[in-house]
Structure 1
């Protein structure tokens, strides 16, 4: 991931041998110093060890569930898998090296390893952020135009996944070719984009990176989930008591998503801007390591919020732990079909809004087995079909 760079100066007042050891393997190590104490390095190592272990386990579990249970292989779930893959790569390609460096209190894999670390973690971090934005847009667009999980939907999601990787490459390759560069940061145990160089070349890159890889994804997430909540309120007149529960549940999920996004990435972005535009020495190595660790916690939090809070995945997880076959009712594809058939059978505005709402709830992780239990859809379907049939069996169900 991108990590905020501290403003660094010479080794004045410090033991020269210690400075050389701390900067060993870095480009420009003669001007690099670390002020983080041994106890501080130990705390950072413990945090990184925790993040690396649980991030690896959480994301591996998601991939195992997706591989084992075919009912999870819906188009929108592919975006969740893409997020897990990018987070897993951070846990494999980044966290172990920064963990080892923290235990030894210096970088261990040289200058080329520093550049590779900065590039790989920046790439995977931006892929995760863009995927979250694509996921929010897909959930909103699915709610507006519900459809079955056909090949066209898979193509659209595949394009979204490809977009996230290409977009990330667009912003992580330039430092390798002269627009800014990757280098040491913080207490000397990680590498990232050089936030401290005051040249026009570096500042222009940092401004573009901040706007297009932090602000834009955040605005997309807030806008899409805001519209999604507004759509829920539009159907509040159909069944007040039932819709209030759904609205509260979706609102809770949206608030958690936005808060965790800001908690992981906002301190990181602020620290980077302070290091870039503030006076030299404003951001110390001790201060810069905190947002760095917070940004890496997203690899642990993302699977919990976007997957294990999803009842579809959670039921499969329970089945995996119990060595059982999951109930077919948790299939998103089934929920998609129910909502789509209801949409096609509706002839008035009220039922159409209700079915939009049903599909939206399903797309947020509500198990499809609950869809037929929603009295709104049940009653509306009976009203529509009563004029043409004498029995009271809902056609859609």
Structure 2
């Protein structure tokens, strides 16, 4: 923001995009503690003047005498290279905005820690829940907990009104967001594949723990390219964004390299998982509908109206339940990452002027909110998980009926056994 040429008693300050007329006449008393020398030089959009304050970083508003702070006003000059030029023309937000965001993030941090922590605890300590499919739910909860690890850093940044840790802090914050975001997206796709495979082929479609472990490893490997490359400035870079209290990959630099990077990360972290999710849930809906029609036709051929009605109700209930869960999963994914993808694509290919600091803070908050909701969507609807919650945390007031599937299977087994004296 400022270029300093320091002398013994004064410094030459170059203030960007501030017309020289904003500084009034020489010795303007509306500028406290600043003695403007009797000349002012106009050069393009820069105003040059001599002051007796070496740290003069506050600019007066036009003809009002009010001091206006721009974004990055409290960063040392040697760290200003981290801030993109796009943000340097925006006024710094009032302190209460930082406090409001800190309060929201504090609530989200606790909700995420409690919800995802309970998911990891229950699914890893209950023998009845240790199967391949549930490993994906635990994996998603771990990614959400990683996103929660960003929030303490954000609280410190918000109270400080700047990025604490500068380049190192920015890299850590952005890397946590990259791993948790990309990992959560591809985990949603893996869960969609597992649910489709399990329901469409219940006898042979269930994954064992070894197969599930390989898919879990794949989700972590999927996060590496677009986390490591910007961290070490191999391709892309991490920079502050919004109120300069959060960090993400650079989507503002106007060159072909940045645009290609943004296009690739858009496809890798958003488009490909979205295609997988849509494909597998569409196939799942088709399979459920086909199975329902098969039950109706079978009951009609057997001329058993009561069985047809019973099967119809059960099939309809199953379809509605799967439809709700699938739509909720898809809706949460869209709500979490579409705003961020939208901002990144505008920054790289569109009109950057609409990307205000407040506007770019919204996508990050959407991702944090969804990371808190994931355990409720993926785990609370799980009957056996609810039974474990009822057993271990009765004060939650959760009431879950016994597992109907297990009960039905046991009854069918008993009925199918022939009597001991059947042959006599």
Range into which the TM-score falls when normalised by the shorter chain: 0.7 to 0.9
Match of 2:394 in 1: 322
Match of 2:385 in 1: 313
- Please list, as runs of the form range in 1=range in 2, the aligned pairs for 1:99-118 lying within 5 A after superposition: 99-118=155-174
Q: Deviations over 1:44-65 (max 9, x none)?
A: 1122111111111111111111
Contact 2:252 2:348 in 1 (8 A): yes
Contact 1:27 1:111 in 2 (8 A): no
Displacement of 1:370: 5.6
Give the alignment's TM-score, normalised by structure 1.
0.76
Residues 20 and 211 of structure 1, relative CA distance in 2, 3 Å threshold: closer
Displacement of 1:26: 5.6
- What is the distance in 2 between the residues matched to 1:47 and 1:200? 37
User: Which residue of 332, 337, 356 corresponds with 1:260?
Assistant: 332
Residues 370 and 260 of structure 1, relative CA distance in 2, 3 Å threshold: farther
Matched, 1:63 2:106: no
- What is the distance in 2 between the residues matched to 1:282 and 1:323? 48
Matched, 1:212 2:212: no
- What is the distance in 2 between the residues matched to 1:63 and 1:298? 17
Displacement of 1:100: 2.0
Q: Which has the higher contact order (CA 8 A, sep 6+)?
A: 1
Match of 1:153 in 2: 208
Match of 1:134 in 2: 190
Match of 1:190 in 2: 246
The structure in which a higher percent of residues are strand is 2
How many pairs align?
335
The structure in which a higher percent of residues are helix is 1
Contact 1:27 1:183 in 2 (8 A): no
User: Which residue of 308, 317, 322 corresponds with 1:250?
Assistant: 322
Matched, 1:75 2:132: yes
- What is the distance in 2 between the residues matched to 1:26 and 1:165? 33
2:103 aligns to what SS in structure 1? helix
Contact 1:80 1:306 in 2 (8 A): yes
- What is the distance in 2 between the residues matched to 1:41 and 1:11? 25
Matched, 1:287 2:359: yes
User: Which residue of 85, 88, 102 corresponds with 2:145?
Assistant: 88
Displacement of 1:221: 1.0
1:308 aligns to what SS in structure 2? coil
Contact 2:292 2:312 in 1 (8 A): yes
Match of 1:235 in 2: 291
Match of 1:42 in 2: 99
Which ranges of structure 1 fall in alignment gaps of 5 or more residues? 1-9, 331-366, 392-397
Residues 293 and 225 of structure 1, relative CA distance in 2, 3 Å threshold: same
Contact 2:82 2:167 in 1 (8 A): no
Residues 243 and 201 of structure 1, relative CA distance in 2, 3 Å threshold: same
Contact 1:23 1:30 in 2 (8 A): no
Give the alignment's TM-score, normalised by structure 2.
0.72
1:188 aligns to what SS in structure 2? coil
- What is the distance in 2 between the residues matched to 1:164 and 1:328? 34
- What is the distance in 1 between the residues matched to 2:166 and 2:142? 27
- What is the distance in 2 between the residues matched to 1:115 and 1:62? 29
Larger radius of gyration: 2
- What is the distance in 2 between the residues matched to 1:61 and 1:149? 28
CA RMSD between the two structures: 3.1
- What is the distance in 2 between the residues matched to 1:37 and 1:218? 38
Matched, 1:203 2:246: no
- What is the distance in 2 between the residues matched to 1:266 and 1:371? 42
Q: Deviations over 1:327-374 (max 9, x none)?
A: 9965xxxxxxxxxxxxxxxxxxxxxxxxxxxxxxxxxxxx63365499
User: Which residue of 217, 237, 254 corresponds with 1:162?
Assistant: 217
2:387 aligns to what SS in structure 1? helix
Matched, 1:272 2:344: yes
Contact 1:182 1:193 in 2 (8 A): yes
Contact 1:72 1:313 in 2 (8 A): yes
Contact 1:22 1:107 in 2 (8 A): no
